[in-house]
Amino acid sequence: MSREAIKAVIDEFGGQKKMAVMLGGCQQLMANWVKQGYMPIKHVKSVAATTKVPLIDLVHPEIYEIIKLIEKQNAQI
């Protein structure tokens, strides 16, 4: 959920260009992810599974908020 997390993932892949090739995208797309501070949900699971970066740190802030609300609701049950 941060630029630092996205940068860490890209570093683990060996750079924006290498990560783009592995995910079937372009370097500019990776740069946009860094700028935004999150990546599309369709890539989060596979990227989190192959890196040391926690899945929660890669998702859009609104998705993070939804996860927290669900956790809070489940704790009340």
Q: What is the pLDDT of residues 26-47, one digit of tens each?
A: 999 999 999 999 898 888 888 8
User: Taking the model in full, what pTM does it have?
Assistant: 0.74
d(CA 56, CA 44): 9
Cα–chain center distance at 61: 10
Each residue of 50-61: pLDDT tens digit?
Answer: 888 888 888 888
Please give the structure tokens belonging to residue 20. Answer: 């783009």
Type of residue numbered 68: K
Number of domains in the chain: 1
Domain CATH code at residue 65: 1.10.260.40
Type of residue numbered 53: V
| Alpha helices (H) along the chain | 3-13, 16-23, 27-36, 41-50, 61-76
Q: Is the dihedral of CA 21, 11, 5, 70 positive or negative?
A: positive
Region 2-21: mean pLDDT is 91
